[in-house]
Structure 1
Amino acid sequence: MTLYVGPNDDTPLECPPGAPTEKWRLYDELVAPPAKCEACACAASKGECSQPSEKIEIRAGACGESSVASSPFDGPPNWTGTCSSEGGLSAGTMCGNELCAQSVWASPLPPPKDDACLPTTAVPLSTKEFAWQMRAIACEAETPTGACKSTTQYCAAEPGPEWRTCVYEKGVYSLSDCPDEYNASVHHLYPHEPIDDRGCTACACGVPVGSACIGMMRLYNDAACSTELVNLLLGSMSENCTGVIPAGSAIGAKWRLIHVLRCWHVAYNRRRQRAPRAATPPVRSRSAA
């Protein structure tokens, strides 16, 4: 067998005239960078906003004013946000020496329940590249019959420049079984297509950051929620308050609407770093000095 081993460049490689039959073409020194993974993206959060503020008060002072008298204006137990006259005050109600209804205050809304962001792509696409640094071609010539007197010996033509005479075996074996004359070098060679298990793991989104519940509470002069007085914006980011004009107005009922504010999110794209394995078993060759 005639063997050439050299850089895997663009130079055409053909069998020499003395050994015109190509036996195999194999490769070594695999270069395979990690897979390039498509970026992950996350959709808006899917949290649920349904709970009211824990505390609602009618206060005898302006928004931001501390140490003022207050009257509870919470909804009934398990309030769903429908019209409620619980805690309503008639016009001109006094809290000591002050008109009671000067502002309406509400504690922050509870944060979204079961809040999570889901990836828009389950498994990202990947781009995989590889290259072999070395290539080898083995060529075979007809063995002249009767040229050697021993049945265990064979004649082989001179391989020519850059080529070597080679013995080879497919699979795993002991190199000590090779003839001593074939000890110039050993090559472990592989087919062109490696066993490639590179790829991208599934996309995952981090814990939502900054998601919140927002809403609005409408305040009415009457108990039937028919004569609107003022609106109170609600949010889970901070306390909420609105002034009552004119001060001392009747606050007979309230009605609430809440929805979720989309979350900020973090997407994770974990990339497998393992390089592909060369196909097995390899062809091991030993060339003559």
Structure 2
Amino acid sequence: MRRLMCLALSATPLLACEDEWLVPLMTPPPDSYPVLWMWVGPKDEAPPCADGQPPRWEGWMPEEPVDACDGCTCGPAACVLPSRLTTDALSCPGGGSSVSVDAGNRWDGTCAALPSPVAPEELASVVYDPPALSPCAPSETPEPPPVAARFVRVCAGDTSQEPPGFIACMQAGREGTCWDGYTRHEFFEELVDHRACAPCECGPPAGGTCVAELLLYGDSACNDRVDATLSAGLGETPCADIRSSLPLSAVRASLVEAAPGACSPSVPAVTGTLERREPHVVCSFPET
């Protein structure tokens, strides 16, 4: 069959007429048999080549890749106790000499003794910093979306009958071009996925309700209460007057309301590329 085809096209200049003949850039004779048969679809449904022949080529036709990853989530924005308060020698709103007291960033609200007690004459009022919402913890970095591609099997065309499910085609010209009216099909023997997802991130916390209560003590063991009790919500910095004759020697705090906030997760972009190796181009015959 190949020898007859070479003879039939001998009037047209050819670059070669070998075991796999080179298609010239002209329309093939309408009564010639197809050079190749091509099947496209899911790999597990691909039929074998006719007459037990091995495939000429196999590969993949990738679709346009998705440029965003899915699956990012954010944990709750928990209520966090403040650790700092400021005493003042004058009644609210203050304005006299002040002392800043900090129980530390990891304070859990249990009894915390001050390094140096604040004397009663320096303790006319106190301002407690408000509670806050912690940053949300992002989920782990997701995997990129799977590569969407159709499987391609190309078989030799030297069969007199059309294999079921295959379409007739010819190998493209040297520049990968097809003739007018023919449909171009490009596929690749191997797809190498170099893509990854950018790490998940969380936006600023919002919402939630946090109310902290501060208790003041005149002794380091938190037994003798100073008369003031402060409650502060998100964004509030209340001031309370102190009328006790006790020094300020220790503090204790607790969250009396704690409804966590939330954060908006990011939609991470896909980084990297999908590498396409060993390309092939075939041209399917015009539909009649």
1:167 is matched by which residue type in structure 2? Q
In the alignment, what sits opposite 1:239? 238
3-state SS of paired residue (1:237): coil
Query: Aligned-pair RMSD on alpha carbons?
Result: 4.8
Q: Which runs of 5+ in 1 are unaligned?
A: 60-69, 90-103, 142-155, 245-249
Q: How has the CA–CA distance of structure 1 residues 111 and 74 changed in structure 2, closer, same or farther, with 3 Å as cutoff? A: farther
- Alpha-carbon distance, 1:188 to partner: 0.5
In the alignment, what sits opposite 1:14? 48
In the alignment, what sits opposite 1:138? 154
Q: Which residue of 187, 206, 227 maps to 1:189?
A: 187
In the alignment, what sits opposite 1:282? 279
Contact 2:38–2:168 (8 Å) recurs in 1: yes
Contact 2:117–2:249 (8 Å) recurs in 1: yes
- Alpha-carbon distance, 1:6 to partner: 4.0
Structure 1 CA distance for aligned equivalents of residues 55 and 130 of structure 2: 76
Structure 1 CA distance for aligned equivalents of residues 44 and 147 of structure 2: 16
Structure 1 CA distance for aligned equivalents of residues 75 and 167 of structure 2: 54
In the alignment, what sits opposite 2:73? 39
Contact 2:38–2:167 (8 Å) recurs in 1: yes
Q: How has the CA–CA distance of structure 1 residues 9 and 203 changed in structure 2, closer, same or farther, with 3 Å as cutoff? A: closer
Structure 1 CA distance for aligned equivalents of residues 131 and 89 of structure 2: 17
Structure 2 CA distance for aligned equivalents of residues 111 and 183 of structure 1: 72
Contact 1:35–1:126 (8 Å) recurs in 2: yes
3-state SS of paired residue (2:121): coil
3-state SS of paired residue (1:83): strand
Contact 1:213–1:259 (8 Å) recurs in 2: no
In the alignment, what sits opposite 2:11? none
1:117 is matched by which residue type in structure 2? P
Q: Which residue of 162, 166, 177 maps to 2:170?
A: 166
Q: Alpha-carbon deviations, 1:43-95, whole Å to 9, x = none?
A: 64789x44323646558xxxxxxxxxx998965x4556442224179xxxxxx
In the alignment, what sits opposite 2:58? 25
Q: How has the CA–CA distance of structure 1 residues 219 and 105 changed in structure 2, closer, same or farther, with 3 Å as cutoff? A: same
Contact 1:72–1:87 (8 Å) recurs in 2: no
Structure 2 CA distance for aligned equivalents of residues 88 and 11 of structure 1: 85
Instruction: Normalising by structure 1, report the TM-score.
Output: 0.55
- Alpha-carbon distance, 1:168 to partner: 5.5
Write the mapping of 1:93-104 to structure 2, written as runs, cut at 5 A: none
Structure 2 CA distance for aligned equivalents of residues 192 and 110 of structure 1: 59
2:238 is matched by which residue type in structure 1? E
Structure 2 CA distance for aligned equivalents of residues 46 and 202 of structure 1: 26
Q: Are 1:253 and 2:247 counterparts?
A: yes
1:237 is matched by which residue type in structure 2? E
3-state SS of paired residue (1:202): coil
Q: Are 1:2 and 2:6 counterparts?
A: no
Q: Which runs of 5+ in 2 are unaligned?
A: 1-34, 103-113
Larger Rg: 1
Contact 2:60–2:188 (8 Å) recurs in 1: yes
Structure 1 CA distance for aligned equivalents of residues 95 and 223 of structure 2: 22
Task: Please identify which structure carries the higher helix content.
Answer: 2
Instruction: Normalising by structure 2, report the TM-score.
Output: 0.55
Q: Which residue of 126, 139, 148 maps to 1:106?
A: 126
In the alignment, what sits opposite 1:66? none
Contact 1:50–1:258 (8 Å) recurs in 2: no
Contact 1:188–1:285 (8 Å) recurs in 2: yes
